[in-house]
Amino acid sequence: MKMTINDEILKLYRDYNDAMAADDTVALDRLLAPDFTLTHMTGYVQPRAEWLRELRLGTMHYFSSIEDHVEMTATAAGWRVVGQNRVTASIHGSGKYAWPLNTVMVVEQVDGRWQIMSAVVTTY
């Protein structure tokens, strides 16, 4: 059965969280647009290459991401995805902590495939 557009966008969101929890920079490289930025809960806007490098080096290490809720809304340019996940990570040498994270993603088509343009993370 062919996936609906809603199924595709939900899969993209879940693939992102799975790849992040696995520190899978190869998968993230496919999912993220070239100009992707990640705005952390601290407010720091991190460029794509810097975030992927920190994942590869282990400076940022994610252990798990458990989904609580996801909402998707079509926009003129693509999709807005808002999801709440409980994420366990060690960031910049901190201990292993769990955070309830709210992620607001902008998803658009780039060269004929859906990619994540940005993600803004806060707590919920």
The predicted pLDDT at position 23 comes to 94
Q: What angle do CA 78, 81, 31 make, to 5 degrees?
A: 75
**pLDDT score for 94:** 86
pTM of the model: 0.94
pLDDT at 3: 84
pLDDT in tens, 8-65: 999 999 999 999 999 999 999 999 999 999 999 999 999 999 999 999 999 999 999 9
Side chain identity at 101, as an amino acid letter? Answer: L
Contact criterion met (CB below 8 Å) for 62 and 87: yes
